Structure 1
Amino acid sequence: MTLSQNWLQIPLFLILILISSATNQLAAAEETLGTVRFTAGKSALENEPVSVELPETGFTAEQVFLIETADAERTAIPAQIEKQKQSADLLWWIPPGKTAAGKTRVFQIRAGSASPRQELTIKETDKAYQIMIGDRPVLSYNYKHIEPPKPLDPLYGRSAHIHPLWTPGGKIVSDEFPPDHAHQSGQFLAFTKAVFEGRPTNFWEIKSKKGRVRFKNLVTKQTGPVYADLIVTQEHVDLTGESETPALLETWSIRVWNQPVKDPDFWMYDITSDLRCATESPLKLPEYHYGGMAIRGGRGWTKENCAFLNSNGKTRANGNHDRARWCDISGRSDPSAPWSGFTILTSPDNFRFPEPVRIHPSMPYMVFTPCPLGDWEIDPGKPHISQYRFLVHDGPALARTDAIWQQYANPPKASIQLTAP
């Protein structure tokens, strides 16, 4: 029986239903739900995220995509909706390509979904949550207690840190249990000189047996076409009392951005740290020269094969405790190897912004720290929130880092206009 004969066997009313359904689906795909527009700030924007507050729409995170009005090819641009409990939902997208300073771009909102160039996934291993873009890993957050290699003291074992950190080219730019300072594992947040319930404690130097930071639980993890979110809770545990007592509970929100290019110059992710007292006792933090959001550079990075550069143009030689908007550490395992590195951008909303950056005189590590500027404390009922953006790159420090910081600190102004029902 031929295809035309098959159609002859289908009742006419069913054919009409099928045609009507196909027509409705096509109309839905072409239907414009509204428009969004944004204007770049004083510096150019290039494959960086933009958001706009959504009014009450009923859209879910998978229901919309964008098309740029100036795009003759009508290329579908992935979009993702962030549901927020205490404020308006946000529509996120990454405008492809470069947006010149001061330029306005306009996009139509369409019903449906658009596949990203590469898929974001969160893979759970036996010890870590590993976030990947396509088939390439970006970072691993270690939730299991990792034992140090012999002959290091088992006391150095830890969880609640990010390692490895990979560049898009596959270079690892972090280290774990480095022999000279085994407590500096990957990327972590901890305070050194602290006082809890009248007792001196130390969450940074694990071997002191005074304190440590450890993973508590997974809050949530989700992936979408624009970003992946991993939210975890960590405990800053005091060990100086009669029993182990969490002094702080910390929530890390780790968000990895999916740039719309196959081979980006860098991976980009954000961390928001929300620190709260775990008891009715404050954590007092006397003035000290380090303690905060830290990174230990790659294995084999020596003083001769490692370089620092901050937003003020300062280096290892003159940049210690300089108050900078961003700081980069780059290195290579030997003089013939290519450079790769890691940049921390700090938010203007952070306590004591711009925070001093501790740059070690010989080792490959740095930490954004408010502690050198005087005594402070975290009080019950008053969360201490800090935010950072991270760029993990191949090659030396990125030439456009300051422009990226400008967009992070002063996001482009965006507006939305929905089509009347």
Structure 2
Amino acid sequence: MKPRPSIAFAAAIAVTILPSAGMQLEIDAGSLARDHSIVTFDPGDAMVGADVMKTADGGILPLFKTHSGKAGFIAPPMAAGTKLLLTPEGNPGMPERVVDLRRDGKRQDFVFKGKVIAGYQDEARTKPRPDLDPRFLRGGYLHPLFTPSGKAVTDDYAMNHLHHHGIWMAWTKAIVDGRETDFWNMGQGKGRVDFSRYEETRNHRDQASIISHQKYTDLTSGSPVDVLDEKWTVSVYRPAASYNVIDLEAEQVTLDGKTLELPIYHYGGLGIRGREEWNGKDKAAFSPRKIWPTARRPMASPPAGSA
């Protein structure tokens, strides 16, 4: 059976800093087989000047730095129950970047060897259809997302759900200062979510990342009121052979003096919109809590999906 191309999100792996004359790291696969795991750790002074992690057999793992100041690398495949000992070294001859950021109109693309892995739509794009109600236009979401073979696995402004956008966030049932609003169904004109600003963009050899901010605006009081600041940290890593790896962290903070309540509702918060042709039986999942959700459908060979 051929592997299924897909988009995956990074999983955790145990890291131990070992006491020695020089710094060494031990990573433990634990009970799971590991493939292309993203490893991050607090570097400390011993990592100053280090560009790579070197394995006992001479393998080289390029280092990158996260927005929070941690060091990181992509681990090689590891069988369950195995450990790997690594030593930091300088290697100034390493190429500067493999994963890069490239501007495409109103979108920031993550690019690997000239191919787009994912796009972050910051400003609202031009209307995809002339009859689209302008209230649906927004930015601040991930689209498109591609498999390594170049198949897009997300949709934008879907014909049957105009408020769906690749990977996006919004709240459906919300109360602002006692008023009921809706940031999810933007066509109702009660609330909306828009790109606000970039805090930072950066790229290293094996990783590129952005920090963006989106603003949630309530429209039920007669004049727009910004209620919530949403901070996204999006990191895209050097792809594996059959899947891309994207890490999304989101943090939401109410703005000074604003009160936001989120009553229980059967969906909302985070949405992932798949390709248009994936509509059909068992086409949606709302309420169940899942550790690892996945969406995949047959397409032109090879099959593709997201997880």
TM range (shorter): 0.7 to 0.9
Is the 1:76–1:114 Cα contact (8 Å) retained in structure 2?
no
The match for 1:77 is 61
Say which SS state the counterpart of residue 25 (structure 2) adopts. Answer: strand
Distance 1:286 1:77 in 2: 46
Q: By how many angstroms is 1:337 displaced?
A: 5.9
The match for 1:119 is 98
Distance 1:171 1:258 in 2: 17
Distance of aligned partners of 1:129 and 1:146 in 2 relative to their CA distance in 1, 3 Å threshold: same
Is the 2:98–2:206 Cα contact (8 Å) retained in structure 1?
no
Distance 1:173 1:248 in 2: 29
Distance 1:82 1:287 in 2: 34
Distance of aligned partners of 1:256 and 1:301 in 2 relative to their CA distance in 1, 3 Å threshold: same
Distance 2:297 2:197 in 1: 34
The match for 2:194 is 214
Distance 2:84 2:209 in 1: 27
Residue 200 (str. 1) matches residue 180 (str. 2): yes
Distance of aligned partners of 1:48 and 1:115 in 2 relative to their CA distance in 1, 3 Å threshold: farther
Is the 1:65–1:113 Cα contact (8 Å) retained in structure 2?
no
- Where do residues 197-276 of structure 1 align in structure 2 (5 Å cutoff)? 197-259=177-239, 261=240, 264-276=241-253
The one-letter amino acid paired with 1:238 is D
Distance 2:195 2:247 in 1: 19
Is the 1:297–1:331 Cα contact (8 Å) retained in structure 2?
no
Q: By how many angstroms is 1:224 displaced?
A: 0.7
Residue of structure 1 aligned with 2:266, choices 289, 294, 308: 289
More displaced, 160-169 or 213-222? 160-169
Q: Structure 2 regions of 5+ residues with no counterpart?
A: 1-20
Q: By how many angstroms is 1:41 displaced?
A: 1.1
Residue 105 (str. 1) matches residue 84 (str. 2): yes
Structure-1-length-normalised TM-score: 0.64
Distance of aligned partners of 1:79 and 1:338 in 2 relative to their CA distance in 1, 3 Å threshold: closer
The match for 1:67 is 54
Tell me the number of residue pairs that the alignment of Structure 1 and Structure 2 aligns. Answer: 286
Deviations 1:297-321 (A, max 9, x none): 11222215xx67xxxxxxx6xx652
Distance 1:323 1:119 in 2: 36
Q: By how many angstroms is 1:340 displaced?
A: 1.2
Is the 2:155–2:275 Cα contact (8 Å) retained in structure 1?
yes
The match for 1:136 is 115
Say which SS state the counterpart of residue 187 (structure 2) adopts. Answer: helix
Q: By how many angstroms is 1:115 displaced?
A: 3.6
Say which SS state the counterpart of residue 155 (structure 1) adopts. Answer: helix
Say which SS state the counterpart of residue 135 (structure 2) adopts. Answer: helix
Say which SS state the counterpart of residue 300 (structure 1) adopts. Answer: helix
Say which SS state the counterpart of residue 216 (structure 1) adopts. Answer: strand
Distance 1:117 1:58 in 2: 18
Distance of aligned partners of 1:332 and 1:114 in 2 relative to their CA distance in 1, 3 Å threshold: farther
Deviations 1:341-400 (A, max 9, x none): 111xxxxxxxxxxxxxxxxxxxxxxxxxxxxxxxxxxxxxxxxxxxxxxxxxxxxxxxxx
The match for 1:191 is 171
Deviations 1:223-245 (A, max 9, x none): 01232111101001111113211
Q: By how many angstroms is 1:104 displaced?
A: 1.3
Distance 1:150 1:133 in 2: 33
Is the 1:33–1:110 Cα contact (8 Å) retained in structure 2?
no
Distance 1:332 1:151 in 2: 31
Distance 1:110 1:58 in 2: 8
Q: Which has the higher helix share?
A: 1
Q: By how many angstroms is 1:281 displaced?
A: 2.2
Residue 339 (str. 1) matches residue 303 (str. 2): yes
Distance 1:38 1:223 in 2: 24
Q: By how many angstroms is 1:116 displaced?
A: 6.7
Q: By how many angstroms is 1:91 displaced?
A: 2.4
More displaced, 284-293 or 143-152? 143-152
Among all aligned residue pairs of Structure 1 and Structure 2, give the percentage whose two residues are the same amino acid.
25
Say which SS state the counterpart of residue 139 (structure 1) adopts. Answer: strand
Distance 1:33 1:135 in 2: 38
Distance 1:65 1:237 in 2: 44
Distance of aligned partners of 1:117 and 1:106 in 2 relative to their CA distance in 1, 3 Å threshold: farther
Distance 2:301 2:208 in 1: 32
The one-letter amino acid paired with 2:306 is F
The match for 2:287 is 321
Is the 2:24–2:87 Cα contact (8 Å) retained in structure 1?
yes
